[in-house]
Amino acid sequence: MTNKKLVMITGSTSGLGFELAKLFANDGYDVAMSGSSEKIYASAKEIEKLGVEAYPFQADASTYDGVEQFWDFVKKKKRKLDAAVLNVGISIGGAFLENDLEEELKLIDINIKGTVHMAKRVVQDMVPNKDGNILIVSSVSATLPTPYETVYGPSKSFAFMFAEALREELKETGVNVTAMLPGATNTDFHHNAGMDSTYFGDEKNKNDKTVVAQQGYEALMNKLDHVICGDEATKKEAEENRRTPEDVKAARHAEKAKPKQ
Ligand SMILES: NC(=O)c1ccc[n+]([C@@H]2O[C@H](COP(=O)([O-])OP(=O)(O)OC[C@H]3O[C@@H](n4cnc5c(N)ncnc54)[C@H](OP(=O)(O)O)[C@@H]3O)[C@@H](O)[C@H]2O)c1
């Protein structure tokens, strides 16, 4: 038996999930990590260099079995789960008219269905312990319509309101829920979404992933309801989005996300 803390982080091969894994590890947490590629094993080795145990698991978060198998893997450790980061998520750039339906349904399976599925397992595990810390990764995209990523933005609106609702339901249980809303961040995310030829394809238009992860981590540890992650301009944009009509925000986002001719 160990008295070290344990966190599980979905989608932690690279990007924000991996940065968050480093932050937890630096605070002494052992880390259960998932990803769809075999690179998850190398990423876990990197985390172990920080002096903790890392438990990698390769599974596809777009399938019911993939989500369930990662959860079973975590539970087989027979350890108390202290924190959970529901991070895995994808986007798809391009026109809704032309995009592949199967790809869009996969996005919904990962970003919405998988998040609900894993949240169910985590919440039902943590509440009897009267202790736990859950970070749900949403996006500044939750605060506006996102043309040319038309299915993605609403999936992140779901994550934001889901987190806030769950937080309220659980407020007397000892389990905290925090929503993390990053602005555009310099991971492989936009490349993976096929958005290299957009405003978001340019690294200089994005926030630093280490700063974004740090802000999310601190908000979780301070048990905030949500946090906008990124530089001052990102925070200002998210604040202004609350007062800006949806059609105005949609036109602005279309300029940024539409593939350049
Ligand atoms: N980057 C941004 O600009 C930004 C902004 C706002 C919010 N976010 C949110 O932040 C979260 C993380 O994004 P990111 O920027 O870190 O993206 P990323 O660099 O593309 O990383 C995605 C991570 O998810 C894993 N993954 C992808 N598909 C998977 C699948 N089917 N099954 C299991 N794991 C899978 C990847 O590992 P494998 O390669 O091993 O599959 C990788 O670890 C997402 O929820 C995203 O919506 C990102």
pLDDT in 10s for each residue of the chain, 261 residues:
688 999 999 999 999 999 999 999 999 999 999 999 999 999 999 999 999 999 999 999 999 999 999 999 999 999 999 999 999 999 999 999 999 999 999 999 999 999 999 999 999 999 999 999 999 999 999 999 999 999 999 999 999 999 999 999 999 999 999 999 999 999 999 999 999 999 999 999 999 999 999 999 999 999 999 999 999 999 999 999 999 999 999 999 999 999 987
Q: Give the C-alpha separation, 209 to 16, whole Å.
A: 6
**Six-digit token string for 188:** 């492989």
* CA 22 / ligand 1 centre spacing (Å): 16
Q: Is residue 187 in contact with ligand 1, taking CB distance under 6 Å?
A: yes
Domain boundaries, the chain: 6-257
Q: How far is the CA of 14 from the centre of ligand 1 (A)?
A: 7
Calculate how far, in angstroms, residue 11's C-alpha sits from the geometric centre of ligand 1. 6
CATH annotation of 6-257: 3.40.50.720
Q: Tokens 């990523």 — which residue?
A: 149
Judge if the beta carbon of residue 62 lies within 6 A of ligand 1.
Answer: yes
* CA 139 to ligand 1 center in whole angstroms: 12
Measured distance CA(233)–CA(227) in Å, rounded: 14
What's the pLDDT at 261? 74
Nearest CA to ligand 1 atom 24: 11
Pocket probe for ligand 1: among 60, 189, 205, the residue whose CB has the most ligand atoms within 8 Å is: 189
The residue nearest atom 47 of ligand 1, judged by CA position, is 89
What's the confidence (pLDDT) of residue 2?
A: 82
In which element (H, E) is residue 213 found? helix 209-221
Is 137 near ligand 1, meaning CB less than 6 Å away? Answer: yes
Nearest CA to ligand 1 atom 39: 37
Q: Which ligand 1 atom sits nearest the alpha carbon of residue 60?
A: 32
Distance of CA 162 to the CA centre of its chain: 13
Quote the ligand 1 centre to 3 CA distance (angstroms).
30
Nearest to 192, CA basis, from 110, 132, 123: 110
> Is 87's C-beta closer than 6 angstroms to any atom of ligand 1?
yes
CA distance readout (Å), 27 to 20, 150, 261? 11, 38, 47
In whole angstroms, what is the distance from residue 15 CA to residue 257 CA? 20
- Per residue in 103-144, pLDDT (tens digit) is 999 999 999 999 999 999 999 999 999 999 999 999 999 999
Q: Whose CA is nearest to atom 20 of ligand 1?
A: 189
- Per-residue confidence (pLDDT) for residue 3, from 0 to 100: 86
- Ligand 1 pocket, residue 160 CB under 6 Å: no
Residue entry with tokens 């949806």: 246
Please state, as a whole number, how many other Cβ atoms lie within 10 Å of the Cβ of residue 209: 21
Q: Give the pLDDT of residue 224.
A: 98
* Residues 33 and 53 sit within 8 Å (Cβ to Cβ): no
Return the pLDDT at 179: 98
Report which DSSP code applies to 259: P
